[in-house]
Amino acid sequence: MGKFIAVVGGLAAMAGGLALVIFSPLFRSALYHLILGFIPPILFFGGFIGLIAGISSIKDAKRTKKLEQETEPKKSDV
């Protein structure tokens, strides 16, 4: 379940970062611009890393399950 949360959370962070880049107000103080300049890329790339980690975890779980099924002794062998 945590794998899917990582994928969904990664996608949400990427969408939030992209939305902040597109819809950020243009006329604010310099500090506000600086903060808005750093937050969206951090959210986007952090979400991208989370997405990759979640997908990798799902693939690893599938691979492990497949290997467990292949190594189980068959009832005819017992």
Per-residue pLDDT of 36-73, as tens digits, reads: 788 888 888 988 998 998 899 899 999 999 988 888 77
Express as a percent the part of the chain with pLDDT over 90. Answer: 9
> Which runs of consecutive H residues, i.e. helices, occur in the chain?
2-23, 30-71
| Domain edges within the chain | 2-67
Phi, psi values for residue 29, rounded to 5°: -70, 165
Q: How far is Cα 72 from Cα 78, in angstroms, rounded to an integer?
A: 11
pTM higher than 0.95 for the full model?
no
